[in-house]
Structure 1
């Protein structure tokens, strides 16, 4: 099929790239995640506009997982249709990623870190997207019931068979990450990237776990990149909730962003951070993205978008990425844990 879409000639003019750890993989400083807005609840034309608009602006990494939708699998189907049409001439410019770990189908092999589940899920993801390979395949969460050697062995099979070009892990704690790196080395696999949650009010990757190391310390030492998700705390680090909960917002829909997160203490901190962003000439969303990128161990900030206009606001972060020591100190006074890490008890705390 001939594509009617012509990518912008300027797409590489303004988006900086950063190398993922000690690999050969360069990623845009801001990447697009298809978690929240690429299911049946969003019109197909809106989805197309967001993805193509992102690519026109230099975003080359598109992050998916088997369970993204709703329903599960729909985001991969949506993106697969775009790969087959508008994006067909540009596939080699894209970094397409997917993950497996959370519940996808009934029975004992419908979630976790087993070889059976991971490889079956990857094959299903490839069918949904209509591709022979993804660029990164992740273990979406640590599975305490499956030996890490089995999980890492499955990722190695994915790479060795040509179904994935790179392998990564997501939401593993510092201790589990070091264990995964060791297990991967024993089976001959290089883990090139980790995908943790991270934001101004969710700073767990900076804090040492029981091993005495932080996740960022481990990633820096072993040479893995970090693709951080939810840098806007699912929309909390914007001005959207400062005057209540909008009817069509994520919090109103009782999704992953829970109204219980919108405590007066969190809102007080967000208002203070908004004032600091104003002083920098940025929106809070722009400052929040710039702030997670201040650390060179962070490869890219993974953001969502419900419209091209919202994406453009977020991309405004690139215009002012630098922070002075006084600015960072002022931010630290308000950038405190907000109890919003909904993945902790299933992954990062294990």
Structure 2
């Protein structure tokens, strides 16, 4: 486990101009503003990662105006380690800036053995939030999510747990992830009756994975719920990494949990090449255009990115400089992606 800080960094002082370039959007009808680009700690922050590099990524993110850091109880590996490492980085570098940060966590996937470490029971959610706060060394998280729908537990129990966390002061806001349009509307109504607003929905969304356009975004707009999209680059597919197929040193080639060979077929590569040509004509990388494509919709509050190097953050943040698309670009892109 590479969790030791073998290369101590100088004392951190956040950049004075950190809010000058980033753009912020209101989260639904709430008072909370989120940066258009947020940082997810799904990868590269577990105990198998370089801790010093993780510190550099977090520092660079905040210097760029990325004030939102998104975690979950099971991020790692192993489970919990991303929160532990973030907690160490927070204590070393970000503690003086706590009131400028939005820190979120989630529970809903398998976390610990036995019947109480998964899904959406009150038992699991309350215990998981307590554990997350301890791992990160925080008194509260800004947003706590239910990570996925639970088909067995009554939605009233799951939403009641989120409501309880707010009333206990352990979370300022609550959200849900990957809920359908119908489930989202129900969750909203239950929480509203309890007096706790449903702040935000975190769906998987990219140019190539557009399920949210089948009704969810309409529900979010109607109810005044914010949204933050994850996997905007389709696990790297919407970058220039796979224009010539799967590189031998790529994560897709080494780890079967991610992209499968059939997801990078010849037809898919041709589609990506056509999208890349449009990105070049816009003066953007394919990754930048993919992020901008989501941000063109004002119902998207923020886009979650994951990076392995600080420099990638600069590339991602540059997306916000051009999130407008001409009618002809929209038509051409929709034709390519079959929208």
Output the CA distance in 1 between the equivalents of 2:261 and 2:128. Answer: 32
Shift of 1:245: 1.9
Output the CA distance in 2 between the equivalents of 1:40 and 1:129. Answer: 14
Residue equivalent to 2:135: 128
Shift of 1:39: 1.1
Residue equivalent to 1:165: 172
- Deviation per CA, 1:26-66: give whole Å up to 9, x if none: 00000000001111332111111111100000000000000
Output the CA distance in 2 between the equivalents of 1:260 and 1:70. Answer: 26
Residue equivalent to 1:297: 299
Shift of 1:258: 2.6
Moved runs in structure 1, 4+ residues, more than 4 A? none
Residue equivalent to 2:7: none
For the Cα contact (< 8 Å) 2:217–2:299, is it kept in 1?
A: yes
Residue equivalent to 2:47: 40
- Deviation per CA, 1:202-255: give whole Å up to 9, x if none: 011002xxxxxx000000000000000011111110011122322332212223
Output the CA distance in 1 between the equivalents of 2:92 and 2:318. Answer: 29
Output the CA distance in 2 between the equivalents of 1:257 and 1:79. Answer: 26
Shift of 1:98: 0.2
Provide structure 1 residue ranges, at least 5 long, that are not aligned to the other structure.
Answer: 208-213, 338-350
- Answering whether residue 212 of structure 2 is matched by residue 205 of structure 1, we say yes
Output the CA distance in 2 between the equivalents of 1:307 and 1:259. Answer: 25
1:66 to 56, 73, 78: 73
Output the CA distance in 2 between the equivalents of 1:110 and 1:175. Answer: 26
For the Cα contact (< 8 Å) 1:205–1:215, is it kept in 2?
A: yes
Residue equivalent to 1:89: 96
Output the CA distance in 2 between the equivalents of 1:312 and 1:335. Answer: 27
For the Cα contact (< 8 Å) 1:203–1:336, is it kept in 2?
A: no
- Answering whether residue 212 of structure 2 is matched by residue 228 of structure 1, we say no
Residue equivalent to 1:31: 38
For the Cα contact (< 8 Å) 2:245–2:269, is it kept in 1?
A: no
- Answering whether residue 274 of structure 2 is matched by residue 272 of structure 1, we say yes
For the Cα contact (< 8 Å) 1:149–1:187, is it kept in 2?
A: no
Q: TM-score, normalised by structure 2?
A: 0.95
Count of residue correspondences: 330
Output the CA distance in 2 between the equivalents of 1:14 and 1:314. Answer: 13
Residue equivalent to 1:320: 322
- Answering whether residue 50 of structure 2 is matched by residue 50 of structure 1, we say no
Q: Which moved more, 1:17-26 or 1:182-191?
A: 182-191
Local SS of the residue matching 1:290: helix
Local SS of the residue matching 1:32: strand
Q: Which moved more, 1:184-193 or 1:325-334?
A: 184-193
Output the CA distance in 2 between the equivalents of 1:69 and 1:196. Answer: 20
For the Cα contact (< 8 Å) 1:200–1:336, is it kept in 2?
A: no
Residue equivalent to 1:309: 311
Output the CA distance in 2 between the equivalents of 1:257 and 1:190. Answer: 36
More helix, by proportion: 2
Output the CA distance in 2 between the equivalents of 1:294 and 1:256. Answer: 27
Residue equivalent to 1:103: 110
For the Cα contact (< 8 Å) 1:97–1:136, is it kept in 2?
A: yes
Residue equivalent to 1:247: 248
Output the CA distance in 2 between the equivalents of 1:333 and 1:290. Answer: 18
Output the CA distance in 1 between the equivalents of 2:232 and 2:137. Answer: 30
